[in-house]
Amino acid sequence: MLAINYIKLRIKSFVFAFKGLMLLWKEANFRIHCVAFVLVLIVSFYLEISRLEWIFVLLSSTLVLVSEAINTAIEKTLDFIKTENDKRIEVIKDISAAFVLIAAISAVVVGGVIFIPKILLFFQ
C-alpha cells in the first residue's frame, strides 16, 4: 500500500510539472525562447555537430529556458505579494530579468563558437 501511495504522489507531481509547462507556454518570452531553441536544433542537425557540441548546445539552451521559467516564477510571486508599484520589487524583477539575458548571451556565444566555423566552411 505504501508503494502505491508513493507512485500516486510521483504521478501527481508530474501532473503539476506539466501544468506548470502549460502555464509557462502562455508567456510570450518563453515561447520566443522555445522557437529559438527549435531553430538551433534544426541548425545543429543540418551542420552535423559533434556529440560534445550537442552537449554544449543543449545545456546552454536549457539554461535559457530554465532561467526564463525562474524569472517568470519570481515575477508572478512578486505580483502576488504586492500589486502597486514599489521600487524594491522593480529592482528584484530587473535583476531576475538580467539573469535570463546573461543566459541568452552565453547561449549566443556558445552557438557562435560552434556554428560560425562550420558556416564559414560553406563559403570556402
At residue 93, the pLDDT reads 95
What are the grid coordinates assigned to 71, written together? 524569472
At residue 68, the pLDDT reads 98
In which band, very low, low, confident or very high, does the pLDDT at 82 lie, cut at 50, 70 and 90? confident
Q: Does the active-site annotation cover 90?
A: no
- What mean pLDDT is predicted for residues 56-62? 98
Residue of 53, 68, 75, 90 with catalytic role: 68
- pLDDT beyond 80 at 111: yes
**Domains in the chain, ordered, with CATH?**
30-122 (1.10.287.3610)
